[in-house]
Amino acid sequence: MKIVFQLKVYYFFKMLGECTELSVESIVKTFQGKIKLHAITDQIIDIGIRSLPLISITAISTGFVMTLQFGLGLEKYGGKPYVPAVMALSVFMEIAPVFTALMCAARVGAGIASVVGSMKVTQQLDAIRVLGNSPVEEIVAPRLIACLISFPILTLITSFLALISSCVVSTTELGLDPFFFYQKIISTVTLHEFYSGFFKSYIFALCVCLPACYYGFHVREGTKGVGLATTKSVVTGSILIFISDFFMTKMYWIIEAWKQF
Amino acid sequence: METVLKVSNFHKSFGTKEIHKGTSFELFRGECLGLLGGSGTGKSVILRALVGLERPDDGEIYYKNRKVHTLSESEWRPLRKEIAYVFQNGALFDSLSVLENLSYPLLRHTKLTQEEITKKAIRILNQLDLFDTEHLYPNELSGGMQKRVGLARSLMLKPEVVLFDEPTAGLDPKNTILIQEAICKLSKTDYTSILVTHDMSTALRVCDRIMLLEDNKIKLTATIEELKDKSHPLYEFIKGVQN
């Protein structure tokens, strides 16, 4: 049992190490100008634009539900006017980046792992190498760049939609004035708080894309292996999102505490 | 005769299973070398090592007297213009059309215009009896056609050495003959090639020299001329397989 656990930890850190290598190589190739623009735009369409319906539904329903929960919960203590501030802070700092990343881990991560895994099984990755190209340049780099461009934009859209839906529920169900709602958001959220969530989305893009490519590259048992790689990429991506979220939040508050001195 | 490829004391294991224990051979310019052997004897492994897809555990590989088994992936890349590999299943990019598959290596390694690339691709496709297939996708082609497109793609850069991994495996007699003819046409030009196969008729028709892999190393070697002598041990092997 102990050995199994040790092995799992070993493979987890091995995966993180190889993911770092993949990201470094991708960045180097990008700066060398070797990545074709159309490959990146294709991936932005696939990763960013095609994720919009899923992200929109998630954002709107989250905005509805959370506003209702906060509003009705705080009403007993006379805290209804705090709903816009609470919603704005939680959306910008946590809900938008984390929910966007989790939805993308399921949709984008699974997609990347299955495509790369299928290419591995059908020897297309070997064919790329044999024809004198690099699979990292051809497969990983365009997807990574597309994720790094798409995730922050999707996070902004999620924030916007979640707050709009929150405003709708606040007005119709809680009886708050929409202008008051807007005023509260503007007066509560600072730029630092806004950027903290925005910055997270870059790290989450790495957490989703790199494990998906890694597991795709390491498929071994044919189509069964592709399914396994897809599952692993979603699970690992989600875990990495939660772990990195904790550390980034902690770091944010340490920085804020330093500023107080 | 000039040696193009040289494999010396090649060792390779996967886990605890030893596939090669000191395999050595040479490939001479202009010849077609057939590599025969049962399943799991490591024929494809050695072919993959010759193009840098596998690294030997021990031993050396030389290409034109240059040590290549220690090269990094980026050092291998320019060499892969000279050594082509024809995959068993074609390994075509399924999201690209036949023309795009054929254009892929030229776009990467040459500065030809799209028009020139298209002309060249269609010429090679026609040579391989693949008329009007350039706009089709791999899933719209038969197995035999996919293999021929794979062959066409590997020839786009005019390589010096072509490595065939079971080019006729799983094909019907008509497609087998088409592939054999295509390889024979190549043999008459400047290509040097290695053919891994189970198919004796293909080996006897196409190759100049045949090697038998058994017990983790090269057991027998004979030229086609030597095989006319019915007492040659490799002839006995071939006869046994054909029966």
Residues 98-117 of B with CB under 8 A from A: 104-105, 108-109
Whole-angstrom Cα distance, residue B34 to residue B31?
Answer: 10
To test the contact with chain A by mutation, choose from B104, B110, B161 the residue with the greatest count of A C-beta atoms within 10 A, namely: B104
Look-up: residue for tokens 């984390």?
A98
**SS3 of B39, please?**
coil
Q: Do A132 and B80 touch (CB under 8 A)?
A: yes
Whole-angstrom Cα distance, residue B15 to residue B18?
Answer: 8
Structure tokens at B123: 């010429």
DSSP assignment of B89-129 equals T----TTS-HHHHHHHHHHHH----HHHHHHHHHHHHHHTT
Handedness of CA B126, B129, B132, B136 (dihedral sign): negative
Q: How far is CA A230 from CA A58, A139, A150, A161, B160, in A?
A: 22, 16, 21, 29, 40
**pLDDT given for residue B177 in this prediction:** 83
Whole-angstrom Cα distance, residue A202 to residue A195?
Answer: 11
Question: Among A36-50, A58-72, B170-184, which is the least confidently predicted range?
Answer: B170-184
Structure tokens at A109: 């991560």
Give B136: exposed, middle or buried? Use CB within 10 Å, 0-12, 13-18, 19+.
middle
CB B49 within 8 A of CB B61: yes
Torsion angle, CA of A184/A189/A191/A197, rounded to 10 degrees?
Answer: -140
Look-up: residue for tokens 């072919």?
B47
Would you say residue A172 has pLDDT above 90? Answer: yes
Residues from chain B contacting residue A132 (CB–CB below 8 Å)? 77-78, 80-81, 105, 108-109
| Residue B186 CA to its chain's centroid (Å) | 12
Pairing of the two strands B17-28 and B3-14: antiparallel
Nearest to A123 among B91, B104, B154 (CB): B91
- Per-residue pLDDT tens over the stretch A241-253: 999 999 999 999 8
Reported ipTM: 0.89
User: For the residues A25-48, what does the mean pLDDT come to?
Assistant: 87
Residues from chain B contacting residue A126 (CB–CB below 8 Å)? 48, 53, 85, 87, 91
Residue of B nearest to A118 (CA): B94
Higher pLDDT, A224 or B175: A224
Q: Please, how many CA atoms are within 13 Å of residue A206, restricted to the half-sphere of its CB?
A: 18
User: For the residues B92-100, what does the mean pLDDT come to?
Assistant: 93
Q: How far apart are the CA of B86 and the nearest CA of chain A, in angstroms?
A: 9
Domain boundaries, chain A: 36-254
Q: Please, how many CA atoms are within 13 Å of residue A62, restricted to the half-sphere of its CB?
A: 25
Whole-angstrom Cα distance, residue B25 to residue B46?
Answer: 11
CB A88 within 8 A of CB A184: yes
- Per-residue pLDDT tens over the stretch A48-107: 999 999 999 999 999 999 999 999 888 888 888 899 999 999 999 999 999 999 999 999
Look-up: residue for tokens 């330093």?
A258
pLDDT band at B188 (very low <50, low <70, confident <90, very high): low
pLDDT band at B242 (very low <50, low <70, confident <90, very high): low
pTM: 0.87
Residue A139's identity, in one-letter code, is I
Q: How far is CA B69 from CA A38, A131, B34, B60, in A?
A: 35, 18, 22, 6
**pLDDT given for residue B47 in this prediction:** 92
Look up residue B232 and give its DSSP letter: S
**SS3 of A123, please?**
coil
**pLDDT given for residue B219 in this prediction:** 82
**pLDDT given for residue A257 in this prediction:** 87
**pLDDT given for residue B57 in this prediction:** 92
Q: How far apart are the CA of B148 and the nearest CA of chain A, in angstroms?
A: 15
Question: By C-alpha distance, which of B172, B107, B181 is closest to B151?
Answer: B181
Nearest to B53 among A122, A124, A129 (CB): A129
Residues from chain A contacting residue B71 (CB–CB below 8 Å)? none
Whole-angstrom Cα distance, residue B201 to residue A5?
Answer: 54
Q: Do A123 and B73 touch (CB under 8 A)?
A: no
Structure tokens at B173: 């007699």
Structure tokens at A139: 């497969």
pLDDT band at B205 (very low <50, low <70, confident <90, very high): confident
**pLDDT given for residue B240 in this prediction:** 66
Whole-angstrom Cα distance, residue A160 to residue A175?
Answer: 21
Whole-angstrom Cα distance, residue B108 to residue B101?
Answer: 12
Give A56: exposed, middle or buried? Use CB within 10 Å, 0-12, 13-18, 19+.
middle
CB A210 within 8 A of CB A26: no
Question: Among B105-119, B177-191, B206-220, which is the least confidently predicted range?
Answer: B177-191
**What are chain B's domains?**
3-82+161-242 (3.40.50.300), 94-158 (no CATH)
Q: How far is CA A72 from CA A66, A83, B61, B224, in A?
A: 10, 10, 75, 89
CB A91 within 8 A of CB A162: yes
Whole-angstrom Cα distance, residue A225 to residue B170?
Answer: 24
Size of interface A-B (CB pairs under 8 A): 49
User: For the residues B137-160, what does the mean pLDDT come to?
Assistant: 90
The answer, for A124 touching chain B at a CB cutoff of 8 Å, is yes
Would you say residue B187 has pLDDT above 90? Answer: no
Residues from chain A contacting residue B104 (CB–CB below 8 Å)? 131, 133
- Per-residue pLDDT tens over the stretch A182-213: 999 999 888 888 888 889 999 999 999 999 99
Residue of A nearest to B77 (CA): A132
Nearest to A127 among B48, B78, B91 (CB): B91
The answer, for B89 touching chain A at a CB cutoff of 8 Å, is yes
Residues from chain B contacting residue A129 (CB–CB below 8 Å)? 52-53, 73, 76, 80
CB A87 within 8 A of CB A181: no
**pLDDT given for residue A234 in this prediction:** 95
